[in-house]
Amino acid sequence: MSIEWSVGYIPYKRALMAPHKKAVIYEDCPVTYQELNERINRCAHFLVKKGIKKGDRVAVVLLNCLEFLELYFASAKLGIIFVPLNWRLAGPELEYQLNDSGARMLVFHDSFLGSVDLIRMSLKVERDKFIYLRSDSTLPPGFELPKCPDWAEDYRVLVQENPRDEVIPDCPVVLDDPLAIVYTSGVTGNPKGTIVSHLQTFFKNFQVGIYVDGHADDVLIAQMPLFHSGGLFIVSTPALNMGMTMVMRRGFDANEFAEDIQRYKGTIVFALTTMWRLILETGKLDQIDVGSVRCVIGGGERTPPSLFDELAKRGLFMQQGFGQTENSAMMLLPRDDIHRKMGSIGKPGFFTETWIAGEDGRRLPPGEIGEIMAKGPTVMSGYWNMHDETAATINDGALHTGDLGYMDEEGYYYIVDRAKDMYRSGGENVYPAEVEKVLATHPRISQVAIIGVPDEKWGEVGMGFIVPVDNQEIPLSEIQDFLKGKVARYKFPRTYHFVKELPLTATMKVKKSELKAKYGGGEFIAGIRAGGWGESEYREMKGRMP
């Protein structure tokens, strides 16, 4: 739509309507809507001074922080395309996404200086637009965070002296303009940059608002990473759009999360299944008052019925849903149906139409398995610089989700399998093709296949199958060392099996369905452990400094 409006109006309008209302409580420090908007305006003036214009891309590699929100909303006000990057990615992964997006500026936290320094000479980022941000993290005695290098500039020094008044963009920003590029891992090739517009984001705001019956008196407790589609477009933007108070921390800590519910009398709580497992393990939910909570949103991965029951015993009734980076917050299971429709991902939202399609494209009746399709104003605009992939994913306005499922007689949806082999570990999407591509370059690996298998703690983890060259032994440490620095740690398979051959189709493709049928049921626990991770590493995954 060519209507002049943007997501940047959210903090501006809230500052006018309720200037002294708390917008964010970040690490126990409250920031009002007026203060937040003034901080955003200072950032916008900084971007203008740096010569960043409408349509340019500004990328960030940041932990959760107020500056993340400043850059996001300042970019929205100016029509700049915001590119939030997963800081857990390895150097080559970050390099690809920065160059693919054509980012002119990169803002990064001090803790990621080493990663940025290794790749900066290979980036298209302009030499005067590497921006360093001190993270204010508390480190053990004897440890120091790196100082701003001579090839970068300090964010706070650049921003703090700018005016607080609204910036008038040189070019009007309209609802159809791109707001952000959020990368989703590639199934068979490189990661794809999902283009999210201002219009889609507003409709997601409305959809989430209807899901949670949100209003300005709500206090939202969430510790999801802002670089993630869920953290940015399902949690933060809708919460601020509705005028809520959002409790935000640098990263996830199970004890802290539970205590925040009582400390701030949270009314809406967002947490992924793995996070809830860790919270339950602390025992904190039996020590605090959760009486203020009226809505719990969770899931994001395979969730056993026992977890719903454990939360329900404590007065927390978790609703799970379904969504993708290409179309987040597609469905949600109503609270009254949590146990009656156990295993369902719910019904489509107010601004989403979904159906089940057969291989011939026709709509299937209830009970028949096919691909879940979706359309509506929350669907992405397309993939950045990937015309063919966009055309293959969106046909006549309909999004092919790649997920196989069915609908029951009452209109509730169920996922049966993922057509694209993706699995979710700790709430994060993992695409085996990415890791397989790297392992295939190992000189002593002939063939490799990876599947997702159930895991009690993480929902799913990777299981690798390797055919060694000439049946020679390969130490596990060698495989793990080979992956280091090439793919993010959370993508590493947790177990490996060395086999003489893989089941293949007539076209020489691996029959992953056979591997899943034999090894993916959860009862098969043999295999060679590659080393797992505990809560401390999960916290680090989610943004907690060590």
Cα dist from 544 to 12, 67, 196, 256, 395, whole Å:
30, 16, 27, 12, 40
What is the token pair recorded at 31? 């920031």
- 1-171 folds as Rossmann fold (3.40.50)
Q: Walk along the chain (546 residues) and give the pLDDT tens digit of each residue.
A: 689 999 999 999 999 999 999 999 999 999 999 999 999 999 999 999 999 999 999 999 999 999 999 999 999 999 999 999 999 888 999 999 999 999 999 999 999 999 999 999 999 999 999 999 998 776 667 677 789 999 999 999 999 999 999 999 989 999 999 999 999 865 556 889 999 999 999 999 999 999 999 999 999 999 999 999 999 999 999 999 999 999 999 999 999 999 999 999 999 999 988 789 889 989 999 999 999 999 999 877 667 788 899 999 999 999 999 998 999 999 999 999 999 998 899 999 999 999 999 988 999 999 998 899 999 999 999 999 999 999 999 998 999 998 888 999 999 998 876 666 778 888 777 878 778 878 888 988 888 889 999 888 888 899 999 988 888 888 888 999 999 988 888 899 998 989 888 887 544 567 887 888 887 754 333 334 343 323 333 333 333 222
- E runs forming strands in 98-250: 105-109, 130-133, 153-154, 178-184, 192-197, 219-222, 245-248
Buried-exposed string 149-182: b where 16+ CB fall within 10 A, e elsewhere: eeebeebeebbeebeeebbebeeebbbebbbbbb
pTM of the model: 0.83
Match 């970019």 to its residue by tokens. 75
- The HSE-up count of residue 27 (CA atoms within 13 Å, CB side) is 11
Whether the Cβ atoms of residue 190 and residue 96 lie closer than 8 Å to each other: yes
Q: What are phi and psi of 62, to 5 degrees?
A: -135, 145
Q: Residues in the chain, how many?
A: 546
Closest by CA to 180, choosing from 89, 72, 107, is 72
In the chain, ranges of CATH 3.30.300.30 domains: 423-542
Closest by CA to 270, choosing from 331, 318, 233, 205, is 318
Closest by CA to 235, choosing from 298, 176, 177, 319, is 298
Domain 176-183+198-355+368-420, architecture per CATH? 3-Layer(aba) Sandwich (3.40)
Closest by CA to 426, choosing from 333, 485, 517, 489, is 489
Match 């009452």 to its residue by tokens. 410
In the chain, ranges of CATH 3.40.50.12780 domains: 1-171, 176-183+198-355+368-420
First-to-last C-alpha distance (Å) of the chain: 45
CATH of domain 423-542: 3.30.300.30
